[in-house]
Amino acid sequence: MESDPSHVAALLYTARTRERVWREDAFAELFRQHYVRLVGLVVRLVGERAQAEEIAGDAFWKLYHQPQLQADGNNVPGWLYRTATRMGIDALRGRKRRQLGHERLATAPAPAAVLPNAPLDAMLRAESVECVRAVLRRLRPAQAQILVLRHSGLSYQEIAAALDMKFTSVGTTLARAEAAFEKEYCRREV
């Protein structure tokens, strides 16, 4: 009797996946240690708490489906922060694409959002925040990531671990990313 090769491959795959699964207690502890900080980081990036929580949850979901990362020597928190910031940057870019699509579909330009009785400072801050997010969208993903991580309070050591780079390279890479940000920001202001 001949065996179906796809059936054998499926059995081997399921046998392998059964061997490598996250220990529930280890995963729960990792979640407790990093969820709040990860959400805070993504909130700063995308500006919406609900979307940030969704992105953080998706990052943990991806991590859960990567059980081989729990082996000794793997930088699981770094993988998690790197994945979440990439997902946040993708969300920003997707938001910009949707916004451009809506603008093209509209027959008349959309009226500017006017908040009744809103103080001028709040309006200027919102414009500034949106400008920063627009500049982050235009930067290379690696530059945007390092800026977001640093300005979210991560130390150089944590950034090096999250981005899988040498600790001694963080300062130079950060300085270059800040220079690129400033150049792009000034270009938008002119």
Confidence check: pLDDT of 128 > 70? yes
**Torsion angle, alpha carbons of 159, 160, 164, 169, to 10:** 130
> Please, which pLDDT band fits residue 20 given cuts at 50, 70 and 90?
low
Confidence check: pLDDT of 108 > 50? no
> Please, which pLDDT band fits residue 32 given cuts at 50, 70 and 90?
very high
Contact 88, 45 (CB under 8 A): yes
Q: First and final CA of the chain: distance in angstroms? A: 76
Q: Which CATH class is domain 5-189?
A: mainly alpha
Q: Which of 102, 127, 100, 103 is nearest to 113 (CA)?
A: 127
Distance separating alpha carbons of residues 81 and 154, to the nearest angstrom = 10
Distance separating alpha carbons of residues 134 and 76, to the nearest angstrom = 30
The pTM score is: 0.54
Distance separating alpha carbons of residues 18 and 159, to the nearest angstrom = 33
> What is residue 3's predicted lDDT score, i.e. its pLDDT?
46
Q: Where do the domains of the chain lie?
A: 5-189
Distance separating alpha carbons of residues 22 and 16, to the nearest angstrom = 13
Residue with tokens 């708490």: 49
> What is residue 15's predicted lDDT score, i.e. its pLDDT?
47
Distance separating alpha carbons of residues 55 and 42, to the nearest angstrom = 8
> What is residue 110's predicted lDDT score, i.e. its pLDDT?
47
| Tokens at 68, concatenated | 């081989």
> What is residue 98's predicted lDDT score, i.e. its pLDDT?
64
